[in-house]
Structure 1
């Protein structure tokens, strides 16, 4: 895909949704961090249901430590892998209190040192909480980037590197959200809704549908 076509795709996505954001509900970098940890192999809707009850009770590292592991599990038990996620969250909260004065660090290295935080989670927090031009590649972005021809790559890291290379700076802060939402609602996995896609004529996917 050439540069001109990519810019047109990004322009259309921007015009359609000028101020995109995550569908996870949060009011602070810490709440976002916990929500993203919980969102691994879970839906944003399912995470929001749990955090809507958790955050009014405990929305700081110390508050979650005071809550304790068993009570934390009670709040998140509807989410997949909740046992291991709860343990990671407790470890992360302890590290935040002991090493970061209870604040979420604004560096990739410090974020990835936290339990349950990998590159994708760190990218989401850096981008959404702090406005860094990072691009977290999840299954939706990986699919859209490859299917459309926008930024093909064999694995998520390759796609991330390609996106960082080909997306102009003016689009970088928001491209993560545009591509996720596009993959979640239009360019869906089983049968993409090409007929209602605002970039259908620019997409290089050969097996387009009429839907």
Structure 2
């Protein structure tokens, strides 16, 4: 059986075989293949341009004139620093208190709460015409040395930080790039920062 999406047909049996090592048996009532004439025609305007909260998925054109998907913007004191060539990873854990039961199998688990989001941003700083991107490196360092919470703006992270997009930048890395002039890769490690109001009687 094949499935069609965006005018492209995928053979599900072949995909299944790639993952599991064998093709599944024929399923009664389902055709083995789909003829090109049966493929649904999806218009070019079907592309999704915003996330579920209305945040734009695409940013301004990059230095080569291409549209950028999910650029990252870090706001520091009202100034936006844009990092277009990035990928974002998100991790979060729960705080669980475990109590072991004497002479019984298992234990009692109490979920105390959720830990902050741990966010990793990896990207590239690319100089125009393969020139050294010292201005972008300084921009990255200015963001890092600002020792207060900053706002993280991205259509991806907005899904998780929709209620509060403030983060603390914990770590910055720019690894060695021998024999490379115009490109520097970097990593920023962050954690979400929630502002609590403490009332004292």
- TM-score bucket (shorter structure): under 0.3
Richer in strand (by share) = 2
Specify the structure having the higher radius of gyration (Cα).
Answer: 2
The higher-RCO structure (CA 8 Å, 6+ apart) is 1
TM-score (norm 1): 0.24
Richer in helix (by share) = 1
